[in-house]
Amino acid sequence: MSVLLLTHRACLHHDPGPHHPECPDRLRAVLQALDAGEFADLIRDQAPQATREQLMRVHPENYVDAILAIRPEPDERVALDGDTLMSWGSAEAALRAAGAAVAAVDAVMQGEFRRAFCATRPPGHHCEPARPMGFCLFANAAVAARHAQAVHGAARVAVVDFDVHHGNGTQACFETEPSLFYASSHQWPLYPGTGDVTETGVGNILNVTLPPGADGAAFRAAWGEQIIPALDDFDPDLLVISAGFDAHAADPLAQLRVREADFAWVTEALCAMADRRCGGKVVSLLEGGYDLEALGRSTAAHVRALMRA
C-alpha cells in the first residue's frame, strides 16, 4: 500500500525573517528530496486547513483566536517570543500544518493508507496548549492524537519524537492523560530545558536523554532498548511520529552525531512496532532540521523507510 504525502505551498509563506533557521527553504529542501524517481509511488495530496474545532481539542478557544488574528502586513512580522515570529502567511501555514496532521490521521485510520508523511511547516512539538514557542504555533502531533480519539475512537495514541530538542509542548498536552503516550529522545542539556528523565507524567511520559556528541549507536540504543519496548507495552491504536532531523551530525543547532542510516533504522523499527500493535498505522509529521542538505537526505531516508517497511 502506498504512502500518503501531504503538503501545501501555503506552508512556504510562513516567513520568520532573514537568517531565521526555520525558513521556507527547509520545506523546499524536503520537497526537492522527495521529488526523485524513487518516490514516484507516493500519493501526493494538498493539506487542508484545520478547523477551529480540531484545534480546540488541544488549545483553548482564546488561544486559537489570538493566533489566527495575527495577520501582519507583507514584509512585517510579529514576534511572539524571541524565537517565534509570524508573517502575513503564518496563520494559514499553521492551519495547513495542523490540518495535514488531521487529514493524515483520517486516511490512516480509515484504512486508505498504512503510513502518511506530512511535509509541512511550522513545526509543532514545542507549542503548549496556551503558549507558542520554539518556532511552533499549534501542537500538530497533539491535535492529530486528539482527532484520532474523538473521531475514530482510538483508545490509546502514542506520539514518539526523535527531534534533537525535547517536545515540551506535546508533553504538556499529554502529561495528565493516561490514554496518550509521549516518548522522546533528545540532547540534554539543550533548549527548551525540559525533558529530564524524572518527567514521567502519570506514567505515560518517557524521556531518554543523550549527551552532546552522542552518536548513532547511542541513539539506536535509546530507541531499541527503552522507547520501543515501552511502546509495545502501551499497545497504541495509532502511532504518530514527530520527525525532526536536527539530531543529524551536520545540524547547526545541536551536537548529536546521528546520520541518515540511523533515521532509516528507527523508522523501520517504529513501523515494525506499529505492525505488531496497531495494524501498521503510522502518521509522521515534519518537525526540526536546519542544515538543508542533511534535512533533505534525512527526510528521504525516513520516507524511503516508511515506503518499504
Instruction: Give the Cα separation of 290 and 248 in Å (integer).
Output: 9
Provide the H-helix boundaries in 11-159. 24-33, 52-55, 61-68, 90-109, 140-152
Q: What does DSSP assign to residue 227? A: I
Query: One of 14, 59, 125, 126 is an active-site residue; which one?
Result: 126
Q: How far is Cα of residue 193 from the mean position of the Cα atoms in its chain? A: 19
Q: What is the domain extent for residue 86? A: 4-308
Contact between 227 and 160 (Cβ < 8 Å): yes
pLDDT tens digits, 208-233: 999 999 999 999 999 999 999 999 99
Pairing of strands 282-286, 180-187: unpaired
| Cβ neighbour number for residue 9 with a 10 Å cutoff | 14
Looking at residue 59, what is its pLDDT? Answer: 98
What is the tally of structural domains in the chain? Answer: 1
Looking at residue 269, what is its pLDDT? Answer: 98
| Cβ neighbour number for residue 18 with a 10 Å cutoff | 6
Q: Is-catalytic flag, 147?
A: no
**Quick one: pLDDT band at residue 48, thresholds 50, 70, 90?**
very high
Instruction: Give the Cα separation of 106 and 30 in Å (integer).
Output: 23
Looking at residue 105, what is its pLDDT? Answer: 99
Name the 3-class secondary structure at 217: helix
Looking at residue 173, what is its pLDDT? Answer: 98
Q: How far is Cα of residue 65 from the mean position of the Cα atoms in its chain? A: 23
pTM: 0.98
Residue 231: CATH number of its domain: 3.40.800.20
Mean pLDDT of 229-245: 98
In 54-198, where do the E strands start and end?
78-79, 85-86, 115-118, 157-161, 180-187
pLDDT tens digits, 61-71: 999 999 999 99
Looking at residue 226, what is its pLDDT? Answer: 98
Q: Is residue 309 scored above 90 in pLDDT?
A: no
